[in-house]
Amino acid sequence: MPWPRRVQLLQQLAGHRSGRHAPGAALGDFLVTRPQPPGPRLQRAIERLGLSALPLALSLDQPDDGAPPLPGMNEGYRLQIDAARGESTVELRAHSVFGALRGLETLRQLRDLTPSGQPLPALKIDDAPRFPWRGLLLDCARRYLPLDALKRQLDGMAAAKLNVLHWHLTDDQAWRLASTRYPRLQSHANADGCCYTLDEARQLVAYAAERGIRVVPELDVPGHTTALGAAHPELFSAPGPYQPERGFGVFKPCLDPRKPEVYEFLEHIVAEWAAVFPDPCLHIGGDEVEPTHWREALGLDPQVAHAAFNARLAAILAHHGKRLVGWDEVGEGEAAGLAPAELLLQSWRGPDHLQRLARRGHPVLLSAGFYLDQPQASAFHWRRPIVADPAPLPAGRPSQGWQLEIALPVMTLRARLLLWDKEAGACLVFDQQAPLACRVEPSPDGEGELRLALDTWMGETRAVLRRAGAEGGLSGHLRIGNVRYAATGTPLPDEPAAPPPAPAWDAESAARVQGGEAALWAELVGPEQLDLRLWPRLFAVAERFWSPLPDEDGGDEADLYRRLDQISAWSVQALGLHHEAQRLEGLRRLINEASSSQRFELLQRFAALLEPGQYYARQHSKKAAGRYHLDEPLNRLADTLPAENRAMQDLARAPLADPQRWRALLGQIQADQPALLALLEATPGLQALRPLAVHLPALCALGLELLDREALDGYAIDAARHRLDAASTMVDEVVLALAPALEQLLEARLCAA
């Protein structure tokens, strides 16, 4: 992973087993100049990746001059492995050092994942990325991440062929990069005292460049600047004093765009950063500017003021040879004197905004759908197409419509549900969103129940809605990721009309999409959770950025997970990633380190039935309880769980495939129950999970009944659903992943009947 653009087994290449090959579509024509030998950077990479013993012939069309990775670098490569008489010979050819680095990573995976004692597979790979910008945002402003941990992620990024580290260094909670000219930034803008020196930043840039990875720093202005206000309140729109924020959210402090000293400060900071970061791009944030101080204290029009601020900052960046990169909001007001092509915009608000910005002429990046601080299934990220026309809506007028209200802990989601008929389909229209086509899934209850499935910006979304009341309303739930939320539907007063379809992409706008970035925001991620939240899901995201779409290369989700499981285990051994170690260490912290191995194994078996609440369920829960801040410890069981439960996923995908596996699992749960309840009661950090554990006996009984009972009558079906409903509530930020697996077992039994 990521899967190459074109892979051919050599036995399929009749007459082409050796010698030069016609260039593939991935690479175009190689230069006709004499191939260049690898330079010192590639020699170091070969040694670092443990490839020195391979019979490797490596050549470049352009010599490596030691320059750092830059936008538009050529990352294509051709890798050919010939096998004869049990021996393998390897030829790697690339335009540039950066393509060769990508090819070496492919070769390392092939070498390491080939069974011991067997020759490397004889094949030919022509490969190049789908998008030139394939990044990862790491938020070191909210929570400091040690330099060694950042370097470890760069090793993983290189293996996944990601090429941009977006380093989020400033926010309301802290300013993380030291300044020679403004020492108050390190002394007053970091409540925890943690700050990267300029030399440490240079080290990280050099470490990344060795791996063909750019480092793009983010200087988040004019909002998200409360920590800066603690050091320099004189730059702000309202008088201080300010302190770095302990909470999370959107806050009022923002720079005063009228003050010359603001631009003098930015001039000097950009100069300092330009001396450290050679990349021609610098991210200015620009998102979520809370307008109160601009409007009330200064009497400014926020949109006009923001556009003028961005124009002046863009001029400062240009003076230092930097291009402005910003979030969606930077494109909302035309910055005076700037052409759209000069602003590279990153969309956190979704494909609709991405397309709108691209149509206006901006080069764009997508991050929505790739937030790894939100637990989600890897397949959800992998399915996000980045550039794809929306699924078509059914023809004609919908026959029915409802106004839905979905109760989240801190807000109410509203959407119109339009139904043509169960064969034609349905769509959901969320506020300020383009219509989303839904699959209408068959229901054993027939006309009395409506089941919908779709992917939204929030994650995998499923609805189960039943007719309620004489007025034709609906009642049920919407499941976002793995968490259920109560939903009600009121019939629309008028005959519904079909919504206007979302516009299709035109070729010019699609060509402006530069790629995407995964994002790991740090509200719920510290050093102890870093790898656990990133890996192995980041490999699935990286594949979406690098590889052709699944419908083009024939991939499927079963194959994705087969490869992802292999890569996950490999990355622990070969790359030293810590996601498995962090899971186990988190479990050990929950119980006494001196506890018996039996207690630890019992906790592991219980954790293997769970998942953390997905999407923003955990954040919403903390916010509703007043615990959404830096002083909230990350010491719950939810903090130790992977984003998805692979074992329960496998059972849910093929619930009738292996009855013996079900019986062994349910029998083990039943045997564990007395000791589990005692463990939860005796462990302060686990006591809140007892309400989940008490559902396990009923769920085990249900599972065995579904396996053993020949026929299910209406009473048994209703009782089964009641048990599953009761066990599907999030408790202490986790859910029972066993419940949806049993739900699929029930549905499989009903369909089989």
Give burial (CB, 10 Å; 0-12/13-18/19+) of 290.
middle
pLDDT for residue 551: 63
Has residue 702 got a pLDDT over 60? yes
Rounded to the nearest angstrom, the gap between the alpha carbon of residue 8 and the centroid of all alpha carbons in its chain is 30
Rounded to an integer, what distance in angstroms lies between the CA atom of residue 41 and that of residue 45?
6
* pLDDT, tens only, 659-699: 999 999 999 999 999 999 999 999 999 999 999 999 999 99
pLDDT for residue 593: 65
Two tokens at 323? 């291009």
Q: What are phi and psi of 493, to 5 degrees?
A: -70, -30
Residue 247 pairs with which residues in a beta bridge?
629
Distance linking the first and last C-alpha atoms of the chain? 40
Q: Find which of 498-507, 554-563, 689-698, 703-712 is predicted with most confidence, using mean pLDDT.
A: 689-698
Q: Which residue has the higher pLDDT, 592 or 415?
A: 415
Mean pLDDT for all residues in the chain: 93
pLDDT for residue 555: 61
Has residue 25 got a pLDDT over 50? no
Q: Which of 292, 187, 197 is nearest to 232 (CA)?
A: 187
List strand residue ranges (DSSP E) for 192-322, in order: 214-218, 281-283
Amino acid, res. 505: W
Query: Who's near 640: CB < 8 A, 6+ residues apart?
Result: 532, 582, 583, 585, 586, 587, 589, 590, 607
For the domain spanning 133-142+172-366+509-518, the CATH number is: 3.20.20.80
Rounded to an integer, what distance in angstroms lies between the CA atom of residue 621 and that of residue 483?
12
Has residue 700 got a pLDDT over 60? yes
Rounded to an integer, what distance in angstroms lies between the CA atom of residue 99 and that of residue 564?
23
| pLDDT band for position 87 (cuts 50, 70, 90) | confident
Residue 461 pairs with which residues in a beta bridge?
454, 480
* pLDDT, tens only, 632-653: 999 999 999 999 999 999 999 9
Largest CA distance in the chain: 81
pLDDT for residue 596: 80
- Which residues make up the CATH 3.20.20.80 domain(s) of the chain? 133-142+172-366+509-518
Amino acid, res. 342: E
Rounded to an integer, what distance in angstroms lies between the CA atom of residue 504 and that of residue 647?
38
Residue 610 pairs with which residues in a beta bridge?
736
Residue with tokens 């750019």: 214
Distances (CA, A) of 96 to 36, 90, 108, 545: 10, 18, 19, 20
Give burial (CB, 10 Å; 0-12/13-18/19+) of 704.
middle
Q: What are phi and psi of 221, to 5 degrees?
A: -145, 155
Rounded to an integer, what distance in angstroms lies between the CA atom of residue 523 and that of residue 629?
8
Rounded to an integer, what distance in angstroms lies between the CA atom of residue 74 and that of residue 96?
6
- Which residues make up the CATH 3.30.379.10 domain(s) of the chain? 6-127
Helix boundaries (H) for 57-142: 97-113
Two tokens at 320? 């230092």
Q: Report which secondary-structure segment, H or E, holds 41.
A: helix 40-48
In this prediction, residues 538-562 reach a mean pLDDT of 86
pLDDT for residue 432: 82
Mind telling me the catalytic residues?
A: 171, 224, 288
pLDDT for residue 492: 94
* pLDDT, tens only, 371-399: 999 999 999 999 999 998 888 999 999 99
Distances (CA, A) of 578 to 290, 293, 439, 735: 38, 44, 38, 24
Q: Is 479 helix (H, G, I), strand (E, B) or coil?
A: strand
In this prediction, residues 451-455 reach a mean pLDDT of 95
Instruction: Please give the DSSP secondary-structure letter assigned to residue 617.
Output: H
Rounded to an integer, what distance in angstroms lies between the CA atom of residue 438 and that of residue 444?
19
CB 290 within 8 A of CB 254: yes
pLDDT for residue 717: 92
Q: How many Cα atoms occupy the beta-carbon half-sphere of 495 within 13 Å?
A: 4
Has residue 86 got a pLDDT over 70? no
Q: Report which secondary-structure segment, H or E, holds 136.
A: strand 133-139
Q: How many CB atoms lie within 10 A of CB 498?
A: 15
Q: Is the dihedral of CA 236, 237, 242, 248 positive or negative?
A: negative
Distances (CA, A) of 85 to 80, 107, 114, 119, 738: 17, 20, 17, 10, 50
| pLDDT band for position 24 (cuts 50, 70, 90) | very low
| pLDDT band for position 47 (cuts 50, 70, 90) | very high
CB 571 within 8 A of CB 156: yes
Q: Let me know how long the chain is.
A: 753
The architecture (CATH level 2) of 400-491 comes to Beta Barrel (2.40)
Q: Is 373 helix (H, G, I), strand (E, B) or coil?
A: coil
The string of DSSP codes covering 111-135 is HHHSPTTSPPP-EEEEE--S-SEEE
Q: CATH topology for 6-127?
A: Chitobiase; domain 2 (3.30.379)
Rounded to an integer, what distance in angstroms lies between the CA atom of residue 616 and that of residue 622?
10
pLDDT for residue 15: 34
* pLDDT, tens only, 231-255: 999 999 999 899 999 999 999 999 9
Rounded to an integer, what distance in angstroms lies between the CA atom of residue 604 and that of residue 634?
18
* pLDDT, tens only, 108-156: 999 999 998 888 899 999 999 999 999 999 999 999 999 999 999 999 9
Percent of the chain with pLDDT over 90: 84
CA angle 584, 590, 596 (to 5 degrees): 75
pLDDT for residue 332: 82
Q: Which of 92, 159, 93, 79 is nearest to 122 (CA)?
A: 79
Distances (CA, A) of 593 to 529, 597, 605, 688: 19, 10, 18, 20
Q: How many Cα atoms occupy the beta-carbon half-sphere of 388 within 13 Å?
A: 13
Rounded to an integer, what distance in angstroms lies between the CA atom of residue 169 and that of residue 533?
19
Rounded to the nearest angstrom, the gap between the alpha carbon of residue 730 and the centroid of all alpha carbons in its chain is 22
| pLDDT band for position 98 (cuts 50, 70, 90) | very high
Two tokens at 67? 């320059």
